[in-house]
Amino acid sequence: MTETKPSPDLYSFEAQIVELQTRLVFAEEAHAKLDDIVARQDVIIRELKRQLDELRGELETASAQWGETSAVERPPHY
């Protein structure tokens, strides 16, 4: 009885499939890590925007108390 061996092309296709599956796993892991990073950055950016808005409000309040109309107003000699 003779055994039939798969053709070399079959091994080549199997190797290519394994390579693609390996790359896919690494790509999925990288995607998950990047997704986590983006989510954390979104939280940080939202907090920074909130703090900036709060500081703007405090600056406007302080400017109004000192009788200033705008913190970015040009001096009259310009």
What 8-state DSSP symbol labels residue 70?
Answer: -
> Per-residue pLDDT for 5 more than 80?
no
Give residue 34's identity as a one-letter amino acid code.
L
Which residues, 6+ apart, have CB-to-CB distance to 29 below 8 Å?
A: none
First to last CA, the chain: 102
pLDDT digits (tens, 9 = 90+) for 30-77: 999 999 999 999 999 999 999 999 999 999 998 888 876 555 667 777
- What is residue 11's predicted lDDT score, i.e. its pLDDT? 76
Is 55 within 8 Å of 43 (Cβ atoms)?
no
Which two structure tokens, joined as six digits, stand for 5?
A: 């061996």
pLDDT at 75: 72
pLDDT tens by residue, 6-32: 666 877 999 999 999 999 999 999 999
